[in-house]
């Protein structure tokens, strides 16, 4: 098969972005590249001048970078966790969704981790972590768990992708790209023995990544809750962060699906039912997030501890009220009716709800971090305020653009929807589902023969 032959086969649309490059690709890369450059220049300014160029100071010493770290790590739950759960529960509709989700995880984890390095005024001091790290610090738990999750997610993205890489290898003309695909295909030929190895590895990985994913955001929450700062020292922060992470992750996945569907014409693969199912999952997350938020704030209010009440009222009626109520509107008031009413839970509806949720969840991270630092517990520390500088905004835009750019480049190298899984589903889904149903549905006989 030559590179031109791929057009004649089934699922050709999935190979199209890889083998044909239009002006839109170059335009997108240029725009995103320019935004990344803005971020790089901003970082160079910060590196040369020090953290004084940011809006951070005393007592607000954590802000945009840590907010983005928590936000990006949260989004990472879109991929591996959702994909692993769908795989383990044998949800057949997962097939076009899993890869889109897994790529998000790997990319945002890298960018989230990068924000920690950016937050260091002296990045060369990162080596101290390797030489003199102390494992009783939750910051080091974080470093370990994020590294573990990034490694596990990368392997979990790569292993199911091997059959697709082999297809690309077989469709490529000799050159660097063929060599690249040959190397990454690990000699895949689709033999029964290879299928056995691959399926076993995917099953083990799917089981392994779920607890890792949950632990990562729990540990991120521990960074805050292990301190005695007002409104951080909470026992429910771990699960609250995990719920928020799945919430924002699902929203990001839905936005990514809608964009890819439109840009790559994947209407046959990403059907309204996928958006509907993920919309329902998001509806559950809206309710769970609301429940946790309510529980967290009610407990603080009822306790009426003076230091906590200062933070509480700065969020409810004070300086940060706009952000707090903005978060409530974006995370509950707008998405809840859209996702709860069947007629509104369309592709457009779920995407609108998702965009609001992404904004709302970023605001939530802001609301958790900044008001507490601005109202510290110790009375001798004065109250502070925070306003981001242009350098921080530049780095944040750069990080977001870097994620989009890497996503675009990934979709240029690999099919963004798993071709092998789609084909496997097309051939075997009916049989697999029937076999599963016959295990618990009484009286279900043999699969009816379908006339060709």
Q: Which residues bind another protein (CB under 8 A)?
A: 1, 5, 9-10, 130, 132-136, 140-141, 144-145, 147-148, 151-152, 155, 159, 162-163, 166-167, 169-170, 174, 179, 182-183, 185-198, 200-201, 204-205, 208, 212, 215, 420, 423-424, 426-427
When the beta carbons of 44 and 204 are compared against another protein, the nearer one is 204
Both tokens of 263, joined, read 């840009």
Q: How many residues does the chain have?
A: 452
* HEC sequence for 101-147: HHHHHHHHHHHHHHHHHHHCCCHHHHHHHHHHCCCCCHHHHHHHHHH
Gyration radius (Cα) of the chain, Å = 24
> Measured from the CB atom, is 223 or 285 closer to another protein?
223
**Least distance between another protein and beta carbon 86 (Å):** 20
Q: Find the Cα–Cα–Cα–Cα dihedral 350, 111, 203, 178, rounded to 10°.
A: 100
Measured from the CB of residue 88, what is the shortest distance to another protein in angstroms? Answer: 16
Among 230, 209, 212, residue whose Cα is nearest residue 220: 212
Whole-number Å distance between alpha carbons of 252 and 407: 13
Two structure tokens written together for 168? 């690309």
Q: How far is the CB of 105 from another protein (least distance, A)?
A: 15
Please, what is the minimum distance in Å from the beta carbon of residue 107 to another protein?
19
145 vs 389, beta carbon nearer another protein? 145
Nearest of 225, 334, 236 to residue 288 by alpha carbon: 236
Q: Tell me whether residue 67 or residue 206 sits nearer to another protein (CB atom).
A: 206
Q: Is-contact 57 384, C-beta < 8 A?
A: yes
Minimum CB separation of residue 95 from another protein in Å reads 14
Three-class secondary structure of residue 381 per DSSP: coil
Compare residues 155 and 328 and give the one whose CB is closer to another protein: 155
SS3 (DSSP) at 48: helix
Of 161 and 257, CB closest to another protein: 161
Q: Tell me, what DSSP letter sits at residue 331? A: I
How far apart are the C-alpha atoms of 404 and 117, rounded to whole Å?
Answer: 20
Residue 16 or 182 having the CB closest to another protein: 182
CB nearer to another protein: pick between 140 and 340: 140
Of 289, 297, 220, 214, the residue nearest 251 (C-alpha): 289
Question: Considering beta carbons, is residue 243 or 420 the nearer one to another protein?
Answer: 420
Q: Is 252 in contact with 102 (CB distance < 8 Å)?
A: no
For 313, residues 6+ apart whose C-beta sits below 8 A from its C-beta are none
The Cβ of residue 105 has, within 10 Å, a number of other Cβ atoms equal to: 30
Q: Name the burial class of residue 437, with classes exposed (0-12), middle (13-18) and buried (19+) by CB atoms within 10 angstroms of its CB.
A: exposed
CB of 326 vs another protein, minimal distance in Å: 37
Terminal CA-CA length for the chain: 28
Which residue, 184 or 399, has its beta carbon nearer to another protein? Answer: 184
């Amino acid at each position: 098969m030559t590179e031109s032959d791929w057009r004649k086969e089934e699922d050709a649309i999935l190979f199209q972005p890889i083998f044909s490059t239009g002006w839109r690709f170059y335009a997108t890369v240029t725009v995103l590249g320019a935004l990344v450059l803005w971020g790089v220049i901003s970082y160079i300014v910060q590196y040369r001048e020090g953290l004084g160029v940011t809006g951070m100071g005393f007592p607000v010493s954590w802000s945009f970078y840590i907010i983005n770290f928590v936000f990006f790590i949260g989004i990472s739950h879109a991929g591996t966790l959702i994909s692993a759960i769908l795989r383990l529960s044998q949800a057949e509709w997962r097939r076009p969704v899993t890869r889109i989700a897994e790529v998000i995880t790997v990319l945002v984890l890298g960018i989230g981790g990068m924000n920690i390095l950016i937050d260091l005024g002296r990045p060369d001091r990162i080596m101290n972590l390797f030489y003199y790290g102390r494992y009783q610090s939750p910051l080091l738990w974080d470093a370990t768990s994020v590294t573990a999750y990034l490694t596990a997610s990368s392997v979990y993205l790569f292993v199911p992708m091997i059959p697709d890489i082999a297809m690309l290898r077989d469709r490529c003309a000799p050159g660097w790209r063929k060599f690249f695909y040959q190397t990454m295909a690990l000699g895949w030929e689709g033999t029964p023995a290879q299928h056995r190895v691959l399926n076993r590895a995917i099953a083990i990985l799917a089981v392994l990544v779920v607890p890792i994913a949950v632990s990562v955001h729990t540990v991120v929450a521990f960074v805050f809750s292990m301190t005695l700062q007002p409104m951080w020292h909470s026992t429910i922060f771990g699960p609250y962060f995990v719920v928020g992470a799945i919430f924002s992750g699902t929203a990001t996945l839905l936005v990514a699906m809608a964009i890819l569907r439109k840009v790559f014409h994947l209407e046959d693969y990403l059907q309204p039912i996928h958006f509907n199912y993920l919309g329902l999952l998001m509806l559950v997350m809206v309710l769970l997030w609301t429940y946790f938020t309510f529980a967290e704030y009610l407990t603080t209010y009822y306790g009426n501890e003076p230091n906590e009440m200062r933070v509480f009222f700065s969020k409810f009626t004070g300086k940060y009220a706009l952000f707090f109520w903005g978060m409530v509107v974006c995370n509950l008031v707008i998405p809840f009716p859209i996702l709860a009413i069947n007629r509104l839970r369309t592709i457009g509806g779920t995407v609108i709800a998702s965009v609001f949720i992404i904004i709302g969840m970023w605001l939530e991270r802001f609301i958790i971090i900044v008001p507490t630092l601005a109202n510290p517990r110790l009375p001798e520390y004065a109250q502070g305020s925070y306003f981001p500088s242009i350098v921080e905004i530049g780095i944040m835009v750069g990080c977001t653009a870097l994620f989009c750019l890497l996503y675009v480049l990934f979709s240029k190298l690999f099919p963004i929807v798993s071709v092998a899984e789609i084909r496997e589903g097309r051939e075997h889904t009916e049989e697999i589902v029937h076999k599963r149903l016959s295990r618990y549905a009484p009286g279900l006989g043999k699969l009816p023969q379908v006339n060709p």
